[in-house]
Structures are given as C-alpha cells and as structure tokens.
Structure 1
Amino acid sequence: MYMLEFIIQLLTTPAIMLGLVALIGLLIQRKAFGDVIKGTFKTILGILILSAGAGIIVDYITPFSEMFTQAFNLTGVVPFDEAVIGALSENVNEIARNTSLILAFGFVVNIILARFTPFKYIYLTGHMLWIMSGALAWAFYDLGYSTTEAVLWGSLIQGLVLVLFPALAQPVMRKVTGNNEIAYGHLTTSGVVLSAYVGKVFGNASKDSEEVKMPKGLEMFKDTAISISAVMLILYLVTTLVAGPEFVSTLSGEQNWLVFSIIQAFGFTAGVLVLLQGVRMFLGEIVPAFRGVAVKLVPGAKPALDVPVIFGFAPTALMLGFVFSVIGMIIGMFVSKAFGTVIPLPSIIGGFFTGGAAGIFGNALGGRRGAMVSGVVYGLVLTIPVALFYPLFGLEEYGISGIALLVPDGIIVLTLLKIFSDLNIIPVVVIVSILGVLATGLIKKKKKQENEVEKFA
C-alpha cells in the first residue's frame, strides 16, 4: 500500500512526474551525465516556477471572485473540480481507493494505446489525471458497480480519454504552436475545440490578434505585461467600485480598499509573467527529452501538457478569451436559471486559464474576432452543461453542497456512463471502443506497408 501511495504521489505531482519523464528520455538518448542532470532539474524547476505563477494568479484572483459575486449579487454553486473530487474522496473510502487504482492502471492503458495505435499521446497533466480518475470512481460507485468492475472499466475508459481527447485538439494545436511536438492535455478539450470552431465560422483568420496594428501612442500595449496590467486594472477597479468600499474592506484588512484593488490587479499580472517564465524553461527541456521516450518506448509519441504551455504563443488572444469567457459565463448563468437545477457561478480562475486557451484556439482558426466569439461560447460551455449535468450524479447525498463538477470532458464521459449504465451496455461499449482504436492502428499500419510496397514495386 505504501508503494502504491508513493507511485500515486509521483503521478499526481507534476514537477516530479515530468522530471522523471525528462530523466528517462535523456537516459534513453544516452546523453552525458551533466546534460541529464541539467535537463531533469530544469524541467522540475520550470514546472515549479509555472506552478508558483499559477499560485500567485489564484491568490490575486480569489478576492476578485468574491468582489465579483458581491458586486453583481450572484448566488449559486461554485464549479470547482478539485474540491468535488477531494470532498468525495474524503467522505467515501471506496471512491478514494478506486481513484488511486484507476489513475495508476489508466495511465498504463494510456501508454499501451499510444504504443499500438495511431493516437500517440502520453497525458502528463497530473491533476487532470486525478480529476478524471476520481470522477470515474465516483460515477461507478454512484451507479452501484463493484470495486473490481469500477477499477476495470474505469481504467480502460481513463486510458481511452487520455489518448482520444488530445487527438481531438491536435489539429488546432498544430496551428497554435506551428509544429506537432506537443499536445493539449486538459479536460476542457471538447469545450475549447468546439468554441474555436464556432469562432472560425464567425471570425477572420487573416486578422491575427497578435498582429493588430496600433497607433504609435498605443504600441506599449503590445508588451504582454502592459496589456494584461491594463485589462486587469480596469476589471478590478470597476468591480471594486460596484462592490463598494465596505465589502472590499473586509478583504483588504488594514490596507486601503482602493490601494488593495490596484495591487491585486498588478499582482495578477506578476503571476502571469512568472508563469510564462516557467513555461519557457519547462518546454525548453521537456520537448527534447521527451523525444527519447517517443523514439524508444512509444515511437512518434507527443506529450499532452497543461493549458499554460500555449499561453506564450498568443498573449493577446489569451486576454480576449479570458474577458469574453467571463461575459459568456454571465450569460450562461442566467440561461441556467431556466433549467431549475443549480446556477453555476462564473469561474474567474477557469475563465483565465481555460477561457484564455479558448481564445488562443479561436484566434488560431478565426483571428481576433474568432478569439472573442470562442471566449463567449466557451463561457456558455462552462455554465449550461454544469447545470444540466448536476442532477445526474447528486452530491448532496454525500454531504457535499455548494460546488459542482466543471470540466466539459468529464461531464461528457460521465453523462455517457449514466446513459450506457441505464441500458446495461457499459462493458460492451468499452470493449468495442478499445477494439475500434486498436483496429484503427492496424488498418493504418497495413496501408502504410502497402504504400511502401507500391513504392518499390
């Protein structure tokens, strides 16, 4: 049990897990000892810097979320995946145990599928692995399946999710990054891809958000630090003034309420800059190191990585996606009232990280207008499906209230599980899906061999 706990800790600690990936990749390539140490340490440090930046962003945006709720008189549930899975694991031992087992065995299935199918993706976003395995453990427990059934079917489904969703996003990722070296490893894939294609319909790909021509007096806004600071300063000040000095003073403590708001805005920007520095260091080491794993263990494999790895490719689109996703979430919140279930509050943190990703994806397909449209659509995705999904697997019976599952990929998978369980066909669907993925690989391999024969005929 201690060994299993150790392995799970490695898999759910991004810095260590990705450091090990870099270590293995460099050793496979027989790099010099100094290069191995350098690549491993800088990968770990890059992730820690990235995480520190994300932590700073969360610290500075949490008061903003509270002010936002107060300013606009919002009440409802908070979409917060980590809180949902954490509370379920704490309240039900079987869910906690099955989560660990599904995570471990699901990752093995991921590697096997990547090795023998055309879906060459190794999912390396640790907290997303944990959230998906926890969601599956919860669903199977709620549906009345035994531990053996939950772990078996849950692990196979987890492995399928870890290769199929990155494949869904890869055509857009190639446009974003300009190459095919990394993949999108986050459980918001279906949402950002859908929103990006809607953005493509209404956008104009020739007008890239990063190439907007500005008057000389406004050229300073091409600087990421200046543009993010300006946007956040406006958002914070408007929200602060509407929330009122009395409420804001409860958050600012001894500090003047208006000074507090200004510092919060700049602190948020500081977090973004720290995060981007970590991304640059991390990508500079993990991509070359991962080639060793790809060549030897899973030929052609690509690492599916967390959202921030794409931030540096289009920082303007990032901010457009953030701002317009918040608008979309506010619209979605009012639409959700019609369903009579719960009203999901806007997730400001989700709006920045994954709404920003939707903006970047939307910009890749539809330019700056595509980024705006994509942001709004993604905001709707982060609210309306949450409200519709909430009754399917109730949390109140587990003593949990006020929070809800957010990630679109997880909501899709769990909704399908509910439907297939009612029809008593979960094993059939899972086995057919696995065989279908493997058959796709065999067909592709056969065609490749036939093409090679034709070349030499």
Structure 2
Amino acid sequence: MDAFMIILEWFSKNILQNPAFFVGLLVFIGYALLKKPAHEVFSGFVKATVGYLILNVASGGLVNTFRPILAALNYKFNIGAAVIDPYFGLTAANESIAKQFPDFIGAATTAILIGFGVNIVLVMFRKITKVRTLFITGHIMVQQAATLSLMVLLLVPEFRSPSGIVAIGILCGLYWAVSSNMTVEATQTLTGGGGFAIGHQQQFAIWFVDKVAGKIGNEEENLDNIRLPKFLSIFHDTVVASATLMLVFFGAILAVLGPDIMSNPQVITSGIPYNPEAQSYFMYVIQTAFTFSVYLFILMQGVRMFVTELTNAFQGISQKLLPGSFPAVDVAASFGFGSPNAVLSGFVFGLIGQLLMIGLLIVFGSPILIITGFVPVFFDNAAIAVYADKRGGWKAALVLSFISGLLQVSVGALAVALLKLQAFGGYHGNIDFELPWVPFAYIFQKLGVWGYVIVCLFFLVIPQLQYRKARSKEAYYAGQVQALGEDKFSKKETDEEKNIC
C-alpha cells in the first residue's frame, strides 16, 4: 500500500501537475494504441511535450512582461488591494488554509487525484452521464483545487474532516468534467472540428458567449473582415498589429509611470527593472511593447505544435480507452483558430473594463480594492473575444470582453470579502471563479452540506440538458450539435418532412 501511494504521489507531482509531460504521455499512449511505428510514437511525444513547453515559456514571458508594470501602477497610485490572478490566488488560498485549517494543508493535492478519477469515471459511463471530455490541464487543476478547498473548508464546517477532502475532490471532478463538456460545440465550431475542448478557467463563459454573441453582432463583420484603409492593411499582419497595439498601450502606461519608478528595484520586485545606464527610456518602452508581441507569437507556435499531435493521438485513446471523448486543453489552444486581432482586442477591452470598475470601487469607497492580474485580463478576455468574434463579429468581441472585465473586478471583490482573503493579498480572479463559483460559495455559506449537494446536482444535470437539446445522439457525441453537423441535420429533417407530407 505504501509503495502504491509513493507511486501515486510521484505521478501526481511529476506528471499530472506538469501538463507538458502529461500531454506528452497522452500522445505517447494514443499513438501506441493506434499502433504507430515506434519512431512516430516517440516523435509525437517529443513534439507534444516541447510544444507545450513552448506554450509555458510564452505564457510565463507574457506574465513577467506585464507584472512589473502592475507593481509600478500599484506603487504610483498607492492601491493596496487583493490581486485577482490565479497564481496570487493559489498562494492566498494555501496560506489561508495553512493558517485557519492546519490539518488540511494537503487537501488540494488529494482532491486533484480524486477529481481526476471522478472525471475519468464520468467519461467511462458517458452513456449515463453524457460527459465527453477529460480535463488534462494539470497546472490549472492545482490552482482550482486550492481555491475550491478553501471555499468548502471555510464555508461548510461539516466538511472539516477526512470525508471533506473526498467531497472537495468530487466537486473538483464534477466541475472539470462538466464545464469542459460545455465547450465542445463552441470549440468545434471555432476550430472547424478540431477534436478538442477547453479545460481552463473560462468554460462557463465560453458556453455563454457562444450562445449570446450572435445576438449582439454579425459573424460576417468579424475582426478579420473589417475593411481598413490601404495604409492600415499592415495591421492584418499579426506581428505588426500586436507590436503596434502594445506600443500604444504600454507606451501610454509607461509614460505615466516614468523611468524613476520603473528603475526602482524596491518597486519592481519581479522581472528586470529598467536600467537607465544601459538604455534610454524611450527604447525601453519600445522593447517592452515588442517583447509582448514576441511572446504572443511564440505562444501561437507552441499551440499549433502540441494541438496537432494531441488531436491526432487522442483518436487512439478515444477509440480504445475512452470512446467518444475529447481532451480538454489550455484555452490558449483556441487562439490559433481565431482572429489574432480578437486576442489583442479582448485583452485591451477587458483591461478597460477592469480599470473602470477599479475606479468605481475607489470612488464609492469600497472596503475591498482589487489590483488587476495579467492571467485573467489576458487569457479570459482574449478567449471570450475569440469565441465572440466567431459568432457575433467585432461588436460581440468588444462588448463581451469589456463586460467580462467589469465582472472580474466587481465579483472578485465580493469573493475576497466572503473568503476573508484581504490579509493574504489575492484571489483566483478568472471569470469562471467569479461566475458561477462566487454564487456557489454563497450557497455553501447559507445552506452548508445541502448547498454542496445542490451544486453537485447542478453539475450533473447540465450535460443531461445538453444531450436533450442535441439534434441526434450521434451529433452530440461527435460535438456536432451546433457546429459541423447543423446544416447536415437540418437538411436531413427537411427531407424527412417532405417524405411525411
């Protein structure tokens, strides 16, 4: 038994919580099940793992480029508040658990294993559960398990026991399985049948955006089809558009901050401070803006690399082990299928929404102030804009990412107050952990164990409703309800109606 637990712990730390190697392992298994030659199995493993590592490098670079600017803004305007960012939130949740519930420090790690097992079981019994997706984004699972552990332990006192850890794991597994399952049709539509779903922090938001974007704008008026004057046509190039937009955006912010603040190592505690002896401030601004564009370009390359291998290899897993399943991967995988202009527009308009709401909190004297974090403002709002642009064009992309920014800050402030995280400096911040998780947390607080049961039943009902609304069983399991099969099934129904008449 001890040996089994050691192996399980090793797998959790080195594979399950390391998404690059987890994805690589899935590709290795998938190609092996497809009986590919050994050299192709190895090649697929390497490409998938390296592609995900490239994605990690790019994501880390984007965060590290932006965080010093956030720190400088906080210092300049003397805003002491909680940071809405999953990395800050992870630290805050762990510190809060360690201080308030020292007997449950390992709860989140155990919950990850239980939750992943729950997800597998739900997919195995998909004919009953109607769940088609396996959540495989390990580092996201770590962040979410910590936040959900804090919610349950703090708000449901009855679960402060070993059985409570099992309850947390079940809750994690239900969320991972059901929320990623909600993104299948939207992602199939976006990617033209890419064969994957989203397993990140925006699944409920993606489902909602896919439903409402078409009512806000016209899909034909998307960001790629906007007619620009001839001299502006250069902005159809991703590199030029991203570099120019970031130059304007960062240039304005860095001009307000000034070289004295950006060169102060006591302010810029993460990243590299500006060195006035090595470079002029003007060139520093340009380099910072262009660096953002570089990491965005690298991210796109990494996404294409690992998604291609994972999509092909997962056919083996889908056919042999978990028939009819989709891998639920990092939301950045969707960026390569949408308009690059949507990624940038979502970031900018989401940030505008966040800054506006922060200003309103200050004006109305809120006891809880929020500092924007890069991960929610970029990854949430970029994804929302990408999916919205596909369904409702540029109007939907800009409106919905702006609204997301407002909600991230306003509901984030409610979450900080409810979970008493002011002293720990951070909250998760991603849009799914505003809606629906903050309302769920209030349900936990008011109804205790019964509230927990209600939330679990809510998750179980969602895929059943999705299945009922599907045009056919085959279409549902293929992810073609509203995407690839819509025209086909509509035509089929029309022909059947003619025969009846």
Cα distance in 2 between the residues matched to 1:448 and 1:227? 43
Structure 2 unaligned regions, length at least 5? 265-272, 475-495, 497-501
For 1:298, the equivalent position in structure 2 comes to: 322
Task: Say which of 20, 25, 29 aligns to 1:24.
Answer: 29
Task: Say which of 38, 42, 52 aligns to 2:47.
Answer: 42
AA partner of residue 256 (structure 1): S
AA partner of residue 219 (structure 2): A
The two structures have a TM-score, normalised by structure 1, of 0.89
Alpha carbons of structure 1 residues 63 and 275: separation in structure 2 relative to 1, 3 Å: same
Tell me the secondary structure at the aligned position of residue 244 of structure 1. helix
For 2:478, the equivalent position in structure 1 comes to: none
Cα distance in 2 between the residues matched to 1:73 and 1:360? 34
Contact 1:156-1:430 within 8 A present in 2 as well: no
AA partner of residue 330 (structure 1): L
Tell me the secondary structure at the aligned position of residue 122 of structure 1. strand
For 1:104, the equivalent position in structure 2 comes to: 113
The two structures have a TM-score, normalised by structure 2, of 0.82
Answer yes or no: is 1:156 the counterpart of 2:181: no
For 1:334, the equivalent position in structure 2 comes to: 359
For 1:401, the equivalent position in structure 2 comes to: 424
AA partner of residue 22 (structure 1): V
Query: How far did residue 366 of structure 1 move?
Result: 1.1
Tell me the secondary structure at the aligned position of residue 53 of structure 2. helix
Structure 1 unaligned regions, length at least 5? 450-454
Alpha carbons of structure 1 residues 350 and 79: separation in structure 2 relative to 1, 3 Å: same
Query: How far did residue 193 of structure 1 move?
Result: 4.2
For 1:452, the equivalent position in structure 2 comes to: none
Quick check: 210-219 or 351-360, which moved more?
Answer: 210-219
For 1:323, the equivalent position in structure 2 comes to: 348
1:160-192 deviation digits (Å, cap 9, x = unpaired): 111221233333223321215111111222334
Query: How far did residue 105 of structure 1 move?
Result: 0.9
Q: CA RMSD in A?
A: 2.7
Alpha carbons of structure 1 residues 416 and 48: separation in structure 2 relative to 1, 3 Å: same
For 2:312, the equivalent position in structure 1 comes to: 288
For 2:233, the equivalent position in structure 1 comes to: 219
1:10-409 equivalences under 5 Å are: 10-69=15-74, 74-89=79-94, 92=98, 93-117=102-126, 118-142=130-154, 143-144=156-157, 145-179=159-193, 181-194=195-208, 197=211, 199-250=213-264, 251-253=273-275, 254=277, 255-313=279-337, 314-337=339-362, 338=364, 340-395=366-421, 400-409=423-432
Tell me the secondary structure at the aligned position of residue 304 of structure 1. strand
Contact 1:88-1:96 within 8 A present in 2 as well: no
Q: How many residues align?
A: 446
1:212-266 deviation digits (Å, cap 9, x = unpaired): 2223322221111110000001111111111223223323024332221111111
Answer yes or no: is 1:410 the counterpart of 2:433: yes
Cα distance in 2 between the residues matched to 1:438 and 1:358? 22
Answer yes or no: is 1:5 the counterpart of 2:9: yes
Cα distance in 1 between the residues matched to 2:466 and 2:238? 43
Quick check: 120-129 or 330-339, which moved more?
Answer: 330-339
Tell me the secondary structure at the aligned position of residue 211 of structure 1. coil
Cα distance in 2 between the residues matched to 1:326 and 1:435? 34
Alpha carbons of structure 1 residues 440 and 249: separation in structure 2 relative to 1, 3 Å: closer
Contact 2:86-2:427 within 8 A present in 1 as well: yes
**Percent identity of the aligned residues?**
26
Alpha carbons of structure 1 residues 185 and 168: separation in structure 2 relative to 1, 3 Å: same
Contact 1:181-1:302 within 8 A present in 2 as well: yes
Alpha carbons of structure 1 residues 395 and 349: separation in structure 2 relative to 1, 3 Å: closer
Query: How far did residue 16 of structure 1 move?
Result: 0.9
Cα distance in 1 between the residues matched to 2:462 and 2:211? 25
Tell me the secondary structure at the aligned position of residue 252 of structure 1. coil
